[in-house]
Each structure stands twice: as structure tokens, then as C-alpha cells.
Structure 1
Amino acid sequence: MAYISLEHVVKRYKMGEVTITAVDDITFEIEKGEFVIIVGPSGAGKTTVLNILGGMDACDEGTILVDGKEISKCNSRQLTTYRRYDIGFVFQFYNLIQNLTALENVELAAQICKEPLPAEEVLRHVGLGERLNNFPAQLSGGEQQRVAIARALAKNPKLLLCDEPTGALDYITGKAILKLLQDTCRQQGMTVVVITHNTAIAPMADKVIHVKNGRVDRIVYNESPMPVEEIEW
């Protein structure tokens, strides 16, 4: 059985009189420890898929299983627990608390988990061993995103969900962040899902799910994923 599976998932939003189907009968599977990229144009439904997978939104139809747990049957309280213990989130904007240091930002996230990793150790892992006591305003964009990744990793999540994690970064910094995510997946066996509109980075993934008009357009499997360093765009 797959580690994560979505079967015939549908999500609709009501906008006044109009109903918009953001996700229209989506089915796919993700194995444990896979690096998966969900790619598609703006408005294709990829962020909605991520929100449903992360328990930030409930689906209207279909089944979602994560590590044997049927997320699609959870109530809002159960979804809060699922988000807290099982999911690490990384967004385009870092959402750090400005009056806390890098270390304190990560420690704060670790406090709400069952089996957190040591905050200082995780910050060293993401290359910020010298920046533990710096505030967000004293860090570059790339460093702030590393703190955000460390914060997600410190929760020791089953699943790391990243929504356009390099969207606010320059090319070189963005590449370094993608390498960090790819290395984390490989070295720690963590299941990582990255959402992007940048099709050029597709060769770095084990699996690429192309989403179009709220549906899975196609799924591409890479037998030998490329290291990010070798990809140009």
C-alpha cells in the first residue's frame, strides 16, 4: 500500500452564486521517502491539492490516506492534530516571528510536537550554525527560508509540504534551497512534496505530477533523478 494516496478527490469553492471546482477527480500515490514535484500553471489546483494533503482544507469527495490514516474522514479537531504532529510546511514567504531569534523560531515549533528534533542540530543541518542568535531582520532571504525549513524539520514530520519555496528567492539562493530539500529527502528518508510552476526543476524529483485545470494531466517517473546542481533554467 502506498504511503500517501489520493483517490478521486474533489474540492469545490462557492463564490457567491458560482461554484468553482478547484480540484476535479484527482488520483495519485506517493511512496515513503519520495521526492515529488507537483507542477502546473497558476490556478491549476496544485495549491488546493497541497492544502488538502496538509489538512488545511477538507475535500468534498474522495479518499485521502496518509500512512494508513484516512485524513478525508477527520473532523476539524483531528485535522489540527494531524497538521501539528505529522506535517511540516514551508511556504514562499517565511512567516517567521520577527522578535524571536532563528533558534527561538525553531524551538517554538518543536514545542508543539511529540518527538521533535533538537532545534540547534536542525539549524546546523540547514547551514545556519553561525546564525542561531540572529533575528529574521538580520538574515538574508535565503537564510530566512532555511530557518523556515529548519522549523518544519524540527517537528520531525511524516511529510514535508513546500509551496513555491523558492518563489521569493534569486536563482542561486533558490537552487541552494532546492538542494537542501533534495538532500533532506535522501539523507533522512523524508517524504517531500514541492509545488512549483517551474517545470525546469522536474528532473530532480522521483515523481512529477503535472496538474492542469484541477486534474492530473500526467505523471512522470524519473528512474535516476538529477542533482539540482546539474539543472539549469
Structure 2
Amino acid sequence: MSFIEFQNVKKIYGSKNEVEIRALDNASFSVEKGELAVILGASGAGKTTALNILGGMDSATEGEVIVDGKHVNELKAKDLVTYRRNDVGFVFQFYNLVPNLTALENVELAVQICRDSLDPATVLGKVGLAERTSNFPAQLSGGEQQRVAIARAIAKNPKLLLCDEPTGALDYNTGKQILQLLQDTCRKEHMTVIIITHNSALAPMADRVIRFRSGKVTEITKNASPIPVEKIEW
């Protein structure tokens, strides 16, 4: 069994008397442990819905969602909280930092609730912010704030790192640096990383590329030799 098994998943919004919206329609894919997977698709293709279900923030209407042998779609509410705390790290387009806490305190806040967390200062050093630990978010650039958000997610020492358009609010060069950081994290920490994007030029950076359209997975390709982000132009 693969590290992630996402099989025949449907997500339907709307009650019996309302128009049904099928955000996911029998979507299936798998990801191996330690892989970097890129999920591609236009807006509304179902990418974020799939990510939210994988992360335990939303539930599937039908289908099977298994992460590291754990049936996520069968977890009770209390167990889902534990799963989100210990197994999953989230990185979003907007950084969601607490403005009145320093970079270090933002990371420390996340690790207080986890089992096997890493040292916050060490992780901030790994993402290139050793000199910025005592700065507040307003004193950091967008790229630096996103690095704090990534450090916060990594410091939880999660099995799975989920990134929803992590460079969407950043300029081209800063975005490339953030993607390189995520690629490096996957390789060095042997962490399973999933990145959602609408930018198909990023496909060569991934071990596995999963294409979504209209709630379905239309294509899955594997790259035998992923390319470093710094060598990709778009």
C-alpha cells in the first residue's frame, strides 16, 4: 500500500432540495512516502477540496482516504484533531501568522500541541531565518513570512506537508526560493510533500504530477529525474 491512498473519492455539496455540486467525482491517486507531488488544475478543478480532505479539514462524501495506514475518512472528530496536530503540516497562500508574536514565537506556538516536534530555532535556521527570529511579521517581507509559515509547519515534524498555492502571494523570484525550499525539505527530511498549483510549468520539479479537471483525476505522471526549481523558468 502507498503512503497515501485516495481512492474513488466523491465530495458533494448541497442538500436533497438544493442543486448538487460535485467538488470531487470519483477522484483517485496515490503518493509514496518521501515523494514530492504536484497537483495541477484550473480554479475549481477540485485540488483544494482534495487537499482539505487529506488534511482532515473536510470529509469525503464517499470513497477511501488512507494516510500512512490511517483511514482518515473514518476518524471520529477527536481523532481528527489528533491527526491534524501530529501528522499534518499546512502551508497556505496567505501566511496566517499571529501579528503580535515574533517569528520564533509563531513557530513555538505550533509545536506546543505536538508530540514529536523539532526545535523551533533550529528549523528557522534551516529555512534561512536564523537572524530574524525576534522580528514580528510586519517587519518581514512576504517571502520571509512564508518561510516562517513553512518553518511552523515543518517544526511539527509532520508525516505529510500540504501546501495550497504557497507562492500565490509572492513575486516570481521569491516564489522560486520558496518552492526550492519545499523541494529541499522533501529531499533532506524525507517528508512527503504535496503542492497545489495552477502553474503547469512546475510539473518537472515533482516526483509525481497529478492533474485534476472538473473534480476528476485526468492524468498521473511520474518523473524519474525531477529538476531543481532553480532550473525551471516560467
In structure 2, the residue matched to 1:106 is: 107
TM-score, normalised with respect to structure 1: 0.99
Pairwise CA distance, 1:18: 1.2
CA distance in 2: counterparts of 1:63 and 1:145, whole angstroms = 32
In structure 2, the residue matched to 1:21 is: 22
Pairwise CA distance, 1:79: 1.1
Which of 120-129 and 16-25 deviates more?
16-25
CA RMSD of aligned residues (A): 0.8
Is the counterpart of residue 227 in structure 1 residue 219 in structure 2?
Answer: no
CA distance in 1: counterparts of 2:112 and 2:209, whole angstroms = 34
**What do residues 151-197 of structure 1 show as CA deviations (whole Å, max 9, x unaligned)?**
00000000000000000000000000000000000011000000000
In structure 1, the residue matched to 2:119 is: 118
CA distance in 2: counterparts of 1:167 and 1:130, whole angstroms = 25
Is the counterpart of residue 187 in structure 1 residue 183 in structure 2?
Answer: no
SS of corresponding position for 1:63: strand
CA distance in 1: counterparts of 2:179 and 2:12, whole angstroms = 31
Pairwise CA distance, 1:123: 0.1
CA distance in 2: counterparts of 1:66 and 1:218, whole angstroms = 21
CA distance in 2: counterparts of 1:130 and 1:88, whole angstroms = 24
Structure 1 gap segments, 5+ residues each: none
In structure 1, the residue matched to 2:69 is: 68
SS of corresponding position for 2:118: coil
In structure 1, the residue matched to 2:174 is: 173
TM-score, normalised with respect to structure 2: 0.98
SS of corresponding position for 1:209: strand
Q: When the two structures are aligned, how many residues end up with a matched partner?
A: 233
In structure 2, the residue matched to 1:77 is: 78
Structure 2 gap segments, 5+ residues each: none
In structure 2, the residue matched to 1:58 is: 59
In structure 1, the residue matched to 2:213 is: 212
Identity level (%): 65
**What do residues 1-49 of structure 1 show as CA deviations (whole Å, max 9, x unaligned)?**
1011011111011177211010000111100000000000000000000
**What do residues 56-102 of structure 1 show as CA deviations (whole Å, max 9, x unaligned)?**
00101011111111111112221111111100000000000000000
Pairwise CA distance, 1:130: 0.3
SS of corresponding position for 2:134: coil
In structure 2, the residue matched to 1:11 is: 11
SS of corresponding position for 1:195: strand
